[in-house]
Structure 1
Amino acid sequence: MTTHQMLDERYGRTRSRAPRWLVVSGVVVAAAVIVGAGWMTVAGALDDVDARTTGFQLVDDGSVRIDFQVTAPPGRSVACALEAQDADHGVVGWKVITLDETDGTARAFQESIPTVAEATTGLVNSCWVT
């Protein structure tokens, strides 16, 4: 018997390992977390919509025209929130539009927004799959 073993015996120390079921349970939980995180990432990317404002024109004191481009998943309808702002970045016009099913390529659109005051800019606030 070695000195180390004699000291362990004298002071009641034991070299215990975690039970096998505990190790297996930990591995299973870790694998489930990784698979779940991966699925959430993939599922979120499947409905990803890219919208870019390409220009705007102030038509008059009561409206602004926005030019924008949308790329969405094929075969899905998309809704977009368009916004007109004044010089202080206050919202003076807001419109939600629905776009027909897309083919997965970028498509250009032009839409007018009525405003309650003179606007200085127009933009796409956000777009989402409907």
Structure 2
Amino acid sequence: MSTPTDRTGSSARTWWVVGVVGVLAMSAVAVWFGLSATLGRVHWVDTGHQIVADDRVDVRFDLTRDPTRSVVCLLEAQDVRHTVVGSVETTIGPVASSPSRHVATVRTAGPAVTGYVERCRYADED
């Protein structure tokens, strides 16, 4: 016959095992959700901008994507008050490899202080 101490120790050990298995299972589900939400998507990194003139900004950015598909990116330029003074959708065709660097021009209605990529998507995803 077992003593009360043995049952308490065995019970605590069982709950520790259940807890560890539960945490591992939940971690696996979180990783699965994270990967499924990002794999195959277009990712971009703003790498700079150049104010070319009062009515023009060149935006430089890197794309990581399926290199066989075209991508459409929305670029924007803002003035000192963070007001959008220009925007353009630019299509980047297929490339040899990914990531790839691109530069596109945004025409503005007034002087801009910054230019950036607002969003990108595959051209065939409407």
Q: Which range, TM-score by smaller chain?
A: 0.5 to 0.7
- Alpha-carbon RMSD: 2.1
How far apart, CA to CA, are the structure 2 residues paired with 1:129 and 1:42? Answer: 18
Cα drift, residue 47 of structure 1: 3.1
| Paired residue type of 1:85 | Q
CA distance in 2, matches of 1:39, 1:52: 24
1:124 equivalenced with 2:117 (yes/no): yes
Unaligned runs of 5+ in 1: 1-37
- C-alpha change, 1:76 and 1:39, in structure 2 (3 Å) is farther
Number of matched residues? 94
User: Could you tell which deviates more after superposition, 47-56 or 112-121?
Assistant: 47-56
CA distance in 2, matches of 1:104, 1:127: 17
Q: 1:100 to 1:94 in 2, by over 3 A?
A: same
- Deviation of 1:53 after TM superposition, in Å, equals 1.0
Contact 1:73 1:103 in 2 (8 A): no
Are 1:51 and 2:50 matched, yes or no?
no
State how far apart, in whole Å, the 2-side matches of 1:103 and 1:50 are.
17
Q: Residue 101 of structure 1: SS of its match in structure 2?
A: coil
**Alpha carbons 1:72, 1:102 under 8 Å: kept:** no
Match for residue 69 of structure 2? 76
**SS of match in other structure, 2:105:** strand
Distance 2:59 2:32 in 1: 36
TM-score, scaled relative to structure 1? 0.63
1:108 aligned to 2:95? no
Q: Quick check: 42-51 or 77-86, which moved more?
A: 42-51
Structure 2 gap segments, 5+ residues each? 1-30
Question: Does the CA contact (< 8 Å) of 1:81 and 1:94 recur in 2?
Answer: yes
1:62 counterpart residue number: 55
Q: 1:87 to 1:64 in 2, by over 3 A?
A: same
AA at the equivalent of 1:94: S
